[in-house]
Chains A and B, each alone.
Chain A
Amino acid sequence: MIQEKYRGARQWSRNKQAVATVIWISFLAASVATMVFFALFDPVELLATVDIDVGRQSGYAIGFFFFWIISAGCSAITAWLVRTAPKRDQLNQ
């Protein structure tokens, strides 16, 4: 078929799709969480309660990466469980 010559838009492998999607969506979630969290709490005051003094900028960054790791871990496990779940029996659907 002549069309295939033009059509073959590059496809990502399923693993690549999963990794990219997990990273990106958890990034978005972490951004929102960071915004809401640090609008309510000042990292300087927060870290002072546990006797850490690293400054506001680092506080924001630590918070952001904390949220990103949590949400990325959660997304990754979800994606993995969904993809590796036993398939429903095709005949009994």
Chain B
Amino acid sequence: MSQPTQTDRPRAAALYESAKKIYPREIDGRFAKLSKLATYSLLGLFYIVPWLMWDDRQAFLFDLPARKFYLLGLTLWPQDFIYLAWLLMMAAFALFFFTALGGRLWCGFACPQTVWTEAFIWMEQWTEGTRSQRMKLDKAPWTWNKLRRKGSKQLLWIAFSLWTGFTFVGYFMPIRQLGVDILALNVGGWTLFWGLFYGFATYGNAGYMREQVCKYMCPYARFQSAMFDHDTLIISYDEQRGEPRGGRKRSADRKAEGLGDCIDCHLCVQVCPTGIDIRDGLQYDCIACAACIDACDSVMDKMDYPRGLVRYTTERSMQGEKTRVLRPRMFVYATLLTVLMTALITSMATRTPIMLDVIRDRNALYRELPGGLIENIYTVKVINQSNDARDFHLSVDGVPGLTLDGVADKFTVKGGAVLSLPVRARTDRKNAYGIMNITFSVTAADDTGVSVTEDSRFLGPTT
């Protein structure tokens, strides 16, 4: 093919225009509707979720100051970090799976960069108008009208960014309280900083950097091609059908004129948010938003040509073969994903909602008490990971006649709390010799199945 390669194309273009702003043209169609739906639901989720309540607390709260994560009825502790790592791994494999299957679906419809950019472009359209109006406005001298339009765009952008920053912080501290604090001008320095930081990042990324983030800064955009094969969905221009391209009258007989179906209207280029020409072939700048499909279909409709000159297809299907959806790669990704998910769910479902931590007092080896008793001192921490208060028994095992002092037979730990108990373990001198292994266990009073153990040591005299 005579099309320029990816590496020399940008350089060649840079010779002509070094910094040309992209004005994506507005377009309606099947995929524009889908993209709108994705933007509404994803942004909707982001802005609404922190306001949801579960009993009397926030349903989703990553309480960093208290080092506890609340997810609906679940409370996660730093010790549960493995679940987060696990979730991230599942997210990665899900991304691989969907990339192999549907190409850059993530980039075109679900990536925060795309979604927020879309929202920012809407605001731009409301205030500055259509593509041609925006281009004209940018060239025009500063008038009252330009000031008003640009000013209101900035106002909308900044307000939206600030709200975004506020929402972001609201995932890490109770958002309702945060709102009250902000109204009372009583916010902590770091809270304010992170809110502004996130807000500013949104403003810069979605308002100004836009497609440059995908082109220059996104690692996924560069390595996604590794997950592509001949059966992956791509957006492609049907060169055989389209070429030779050229303008013509609607009534003209294209076959007689020796023309293909492409009327060279450049609509597909104008709607492209990354400013590429899909007719140049598959390019890594393409985020697969499908705006060009909508644009081309609308033109094909007008010309009374069949739709799909630019369409979702696969390389195999472009070569006239049948696309295989079920292929080994898909099974590997799907199996890994299923295994990871099953393991996560099993592990979370069978999680014992208590933790026990035993620290031996290091200041003394042991104490001899009157009456021929040997005593060791421990700090026992019982963590109740469930949300409700619960009664527990503490016991110890491993040395004959070992008894615990300083702890009631049954004690209560509040939901999500840590109870620290100074515990003295004693036994008769004749039973204690040297270093002995012992095991503490804590058991829920209402369910003996809920129990954890922790090993420690009991020291006695060696003479």
Interface positions of A (Cβ within 8 A of B):
3-4, 6-13, 17, 20-21, 24-25, 35-36, 38-40, 42, 56-58, 60-61
Given contacts A20-B217, A42-B78, A58-B190, contact A6 B65 (CB under 8 A): no
CB of B81 within 8 A of CB of A36, answer: yes
The A interface, classified by DSSP as helix, strand, loop or mixed, is helix
Q: In the assembled complex, how far is the CB of residue A76 from the closest CB belonging to chain B, in whole angstroms?
A: 15
CB of B212 within 8 A of CB of A8, answer: no
CB contact between B84 and one of A3, A39, A58, A60 (< 8 Å): that residue:
A39
CB contact between B212 and one of A12, A25, A60, A61 (< 8 Å): that residue:
A12
Which of A4, A7, A20, A61 gathers most chain B CB within 10 Å? A7
Binds A, one of B15-23, B397-405, B449-457: B15-23
Given contacts A20-B217, A35-B84, A40-B81, contact A4 B190 (CB under 8 A): no
CB of A25 within 8 A of CB of B274, answer: no
CB contact between B216 and one of A8, A17, A36, A60 (< 8 Å): that residue:
A17
Interface positions of B (Cβ within 8 A of A):
10, 13-14, 16-22, 64-65, 67, 78, 81, 84-85, 188, 190-191, 193, 209, 211-213, 215-217, 219, 266, 269-270, 274-277, 285
CB of A6 within 8 A of CB of B277, answer: yes
CB of A57 within 8 A of CB of B64, answer: yes
Chosen A-B contacts, 20 in total, with CB atoms closer than 8 Å, are A4-B16, A6-B277, A7-B275, A7-B277, A8-B17, A8-B20, A10-B17, A10-B19, A11-B13, A11-B17, A11-B19, A20-B216, A21-B217, A36-B81, A39-B78, A42-B67, A56-B64, A56-B67, A57-B188, A61-B193
Q: In the assembled complex, how far is the CB of residue A50 from the closest CB belonging to chain B, in whole angstroms?
A: 20
* Cα(A12)–Cα(B208), bound, Å: 12
Q: In the assembled complex, how far is the CB of residue B418 from the closest CB belonging to chain A, in whole angstroms?
A: 12
CB contact between A3 and one of B21, B65, B81, B277 (< 8 Å): that residue:
B277
A-B contacts, CB under 8 A, total: 80
Sample of 20 more A-B contacts, CB < 8 Å, known A40-B81, A58-B190: A4-B17, A6-B269, A6-B277, A8-B13, A9-B211, A9-B274, A9-B275, A9-B285, A10-B18, A10-B275, A11-B14, A12-B216, A17-B216, A20-B212, A20-B216, A24-B217, A42-B67, A56-B64, A56-B67, A60-B64
Closest-by-CB residue of A relative to B218 is A24
Q: In the assembled complex, how far is the CB of residue A36 from the closest CB belonging to chain B, in whole angstroms?
A: 7
CB of A10 within 8 A of CB of B269, answer: no
* Cα(A11)–Cα(B216), bound, Å: 10
CB of B13 within 8 A of CB of A7, answer: yes
Q: In the assembled complex, how far is the CB of residue A53 from the closest CB belonging to chain B, in whole angstroms?
A: 15
* Cα(A13)–Cα(B19), bound, Å: 9
Closest-by-CB residue of A relative to B21 is A10
Q: In the assembled complex, how far is the CB of residue A61 from the closest CB belonging to chain B, in whole angstroms?
A: 5
B212 surroundings in chain A (CB, below 8 A) = 10, 12, 20
Closest-by-CB residue of B relative to A58 is B190
B21 surroundings in chain A (CB, below 8 A) = 10
CB contact between A6 and one of B78, B270, B274 (< 8 Å): that residue:
B270
CB of B78 within 8 A of CB of A9, answer: no
Closest-by-CB residue of B relative to A23 is B217
A11 surroundings in chain B (CB, below 8 A) = 10, 13-14, 17-19
CB contact between A8 and one of B16, B64, B217, B270 (< 8 Å): that residue:
B16
CB of A6 within 8 A of CB of B17, answer: no
Q: In the assembled complex, how far is the CB of residue B267 from the closest CB belonging to chain A, in whole angstroms?
A: 10
* Cα(A20)–Cα(B81), bound, Å: 31
CB of A10 within 8 A of CB of B67, answer: no
* Cα(A61)–Cα(B189), bound, Å: 11
CB contact between A9 and one of B188, B190, B276 (< 8 Å): that residue:
B276
